[in-house]
Amino acid sequence: MIKVDLPTMENDEWVVEHFEVDMKSFQAFRLAMDGRPVESGTYTRLFRKESSMHDPVMSDTPAEMRDLHPIMIRAEGSVLINGLGLGVLVKNLLAKPKVLHIDVVETSLSLINLVGPFYEDPRVKIHHADAYQVYWPKEQTWDVAWHDIWDNICSDNWGEMRMLKQKYRRKVTWQGCWCEDQVRRLVRRERRRCRSARR
């Protein structure tokens, strides 16, 4: 997997910046606390201006790139991505000759304007739309789809993941969601806790 090569930049809503991780840094501590291994190095992160740099929407750390493994091993033909982010997945899919077309759905026009120009390629089409509400022609299908519209790993994402997978079930051969396994484990843990509390 290759990291993005975006410059440090910002607009009215978003900031893209480079940051350094060493094993003593707060960032390394936070990622480790989330149960996500982190290696020292220089990376790129995306965050909302209204937030803070310690609460990124995404980054191109090895931990986050490993999350893309399920789609990377399956991706070929036409691909649907819900969520643009830094474009890490788009960049890596473009390096695969078997990927012929990529549709990206992103709800933030501001993010499309900031990051989208770095992925101008005949194989890529970025749609300004909501993943849940976007209309596709009946005949539109993809070989694989990847849903990555969440900022953090949280059990609340489970219902949204199921809704997206239901929406696209007849349009894709295979689909997956960012950190789906971790979210499923959180949901199971919470259900067990609830059952134990009722006893």
At residue 4, the pLDDT reads: 97
Contacts with 43 (C-beta within 8 Å, 6 or more apart), sequence order: 3, 18, 19, 20, 21, 59, 60, 61
Residue pLDDT, tens place only, 54-97? 578 999 998 889 999 999 999 999 999 999 999 999 999 999 99
Domains of the chain, start order: 9-64 (no CATH), 74-182 (3.40.50.150)
Residue pLDDT, tens place only, 110-139? 999 999 999 999 999 999 999 999 999 999
- pTM of the complete model: 0.87
Residue pLDDT, tens place only, 171-198? 999 999 998 888 888 888 887 777 777 6
Q: Which residues, in sequence order, are bridge partners of residue 79? A: 102, 144
Q: Which residues, in sequence order, are bridge partners of residue 101? A: 78
Dump strand ranges (E) for the chain. 9-10, 14-21, 41-48, 58-59, 77-82, 99-106, 124-128, 142-147, 172-177
User: Which residue has better confidence, 2 or 31?
Assistant: 2
Q: Please, are residues 155 and 187 in contact by the beta-carbon 8 Å criterion?
A: yes
From edge to edge, which strands make up the β-sheet containing 77-82?
A: 124-128, 99-106, 77-82, 142-147, 172-177
Residue pLDDT, tens place only, 12-44? 999 999 988 876 665 554 555 456 667 788 999
